[in-house]
A and B are shown apart, each in its own frame.
Chain A
Amino acid sequence: MTNLDHGKFTHVTTVFHSLLALDVFALFFTGYGIMFNDELWWLVVLLGGYQGVAALHRIAGFGLVALIGFWMLLMLTTSTGRGNFREIVPTGDDVAAFVQDVKFVLGRADERHPNARQFAGYKADEVPLLSYVGKGVVFIFSVELTLLTVSGLLIWSKTGVMQFFATKTAAMAFVVFHGLLGVIMLMGVMFHIFEHGFHPAFYPVETKAFIPRSMIPEAHGHEGEREADTTGIERLTLSPSWSWVTNLMGAFVVIGIVSVLMGSIFDEGYPVPNELAVGGGPSNLLLTVGINIGVFVLFVGIVLSMYGNLVRIRWERQLERERPRTTADGGRVAESGED
């Protein structure tokens, strides 16, 4: 038999994920406070005005370079890290998983593809380290973070770019480029929050990224369940609040993504206009509300990330309490004959 299907990562990976999330959220709040200052003026005020926001953004940027440097060195210098590269390479199965997801939604497939499955249940043995979405996230975020770090360092002190172009306006182009690049990641993170916060079996947070595999007890010798037809999700009870919370958050995620996308098209800063332009183009009430809803989604993400860590701490404590009490064979007392 299998282990809990959400225990896939090492302790180092789960801690890294939480630190990276905190750092990226800090970069989002400060960076998009600057870019969408029309709509997020309150965020700029809260974070210490323009000087404060810019300083915090640089501090978080320093943290990001350190985290990326740490992760790249760890992946390259350890056999566990190098061994994981194979696991994240997209394959034909991942394309099939996306196609099957669409079919599943349309009612033309009975189950999600193993490479798409978040809740695996009885079929946890079939599920890879990362789903097709997980692989996409790793690749897209890697490219994004690389480009953002390079462009961010170039505009760290504008003199760096100005040395290459000998002009302030060209430096402005790099600031705009940096902000526009991050929009993909901003939208991606909103989806990531929805994907891992609102799966009905895991609501309100999927603990895969928080509880390391080393803390998930494994069960062996359950041959009967290996051949189960379903994942077993029909034996779980849906949370009473899942439906309305998920619909609300789904709507917020869609509004947030559309709004930051629209905002990024209007709030462009290059070429620098000759006239003094108050505001960032046709910014209006709807866009302001929409972008603020997007920021709310990010706040929910931070809360869920914290909650995931809280769950891990509780899990650790329960493990400590239960380990000494286990029976001689390491098993638990079964409730009925079915175990």
Chain B
Amino acid sequence: MDRDLPETAGYSPLAVLGSAVGGLVIAFLSVWWAAGNAVSAESLFRVAPTVENRGVGSDWVAGNTIEWLDFLIALTHAADVIMGVFILVMVFVHWAAFRRLAGRMRRPGEPNRGDGVAADGGGTAKPVDSSGTTENAGGDDSGGERP
């Protein structure tokens, strides 16, 4: 049986380095922009006291009653609840599926019938060697836990 490390098509170091530099540039530019460099102080908090119904504190009230912002938040609440219920369903499905799969496995302490197998379904390794790191990869018949 042939057992080799596979030829894999990965990413070239140049692409990784270029993307890393690009990512940092994007992060610097985003934060530079967000930290207030794009702000015109002139347009902030102009309360225009001479205009009717506009006075000190009016920005507070106006900002607290923007309907579409309120709607956006209500929408996010709804998304949270819908996704939360869905995620809970997924938790229960996996929990139950894991229990069913566990039921097919050998019980702890059940004698080894001498036909141990790696998790890859590959051939039987030498028993002594396979109790090493292979186990950590979920790979031997102890179920992968380290003491």
Restricting to B116-147, which residues have a CB under 8 Å from any CB of A? 116-127, 129, 132-134, 136-145
**A311 with B136, Cβ < 8 A, contacts A66-B23, A271-B65 known:** yes
Chain A residue at minimal CB-CB distance from B42 = A163
Q: Which residues of B have CB within 8 Å of A165?
A: 63, 66
Say whether chain A's binding surface is mostly helix, strand, loop, or mixed.
helix
A25 in contact (CB, < 8 A): no
* B51 at interface, CB cutoff 8 A: no
Chain A neighbourhood of B76, CB < 8 A: 177, 180-181
- Chain B, 1-33, contact with A by CB distance < 8 Å: what is the 0/1 string? 111111011111001101110111111001101
Instruction: Give Cα distance in the complex from A294 to B96, angstroms.
Output: 21
Q: How distant is the Cα of A74 from the Cα of B143 in the complex, in angstroms?
A: 36
Contact B5 A160 (CB under 8 A): no
Contact of B70 with A271 in the complex, beta carbons under 8 Å: yes
Q: Contact: B84 with A257, CB < 8 Å?
A: yes
Contact with B along A226-267 (1 / 0, CB 8 A): 001001111111111111001000100110011001001100
Q: Say which size band chain A's interface belongs to.
A: 35 or more
How far, in whole Å, are A79 and B41 apart by their CA atoms in the complex? 46
**Given contacts A331-B2, A331-B3, are A167 and B63 in contact (CB under 8 A)?**
yes
Contact (Cβ within 8 A) A314 B136: yes
Given the known interface contacts A201-B119, A203-B143, A238-B143, the answer about A265 and B77 at a Cβ–Cβ threshold of 8 Å is yes
Complexed CA–CA distance, A133 and B91 (Å): 11
Q: CB of A207 within 8 A of chain B? A: yes
CB atoms of B91 and A330 under 8 A apart: no
**Which residues from chain B contact A123 at a C-beta distance below 8 Å?**
121
> Can you list 23 pairs linking A and B with CB atoms under 8 Å apart?
A4-B118, A11-B10, A68-B23, A101-B93, A107-B100, A149-B30, A160-B34, A165-B63, A173-B63, A199-B98, A200-B101, A214-B8, A215-B5, A220-B3, A235-B117, A236-B140, A239-B142, A272-B64, A311-B133, A332-B1, A336-B115, A339-B123, A339-B124
User: 6 shortest A-B CB distances, which residue pairs?
Assistant: A167-B63, A70-B23, A169-B63, A69-B23, A69-B26, A156-B34
Q: Which residues of A contact B (CB under 8 A)?
A: 1-6, 10-12, 58, 61-63, 65-71, 73-74, 77-81, 83, 101-102, 104-105, 107, 112, 119-124, 133, 140, 149, 153-154, 156-157, 159-160, 162-163, 165-174, 176-177, 180-181, 183-184, 187-188, 190-191, 194-195, 198-204, 206-207, 211-222, 225, 228, 231-243, 246, 250, 253-254, 257-258, 261, 264-265, 268, 270-272, 311, 314-315, 317-319, 322, 326, 329-336, 338-339
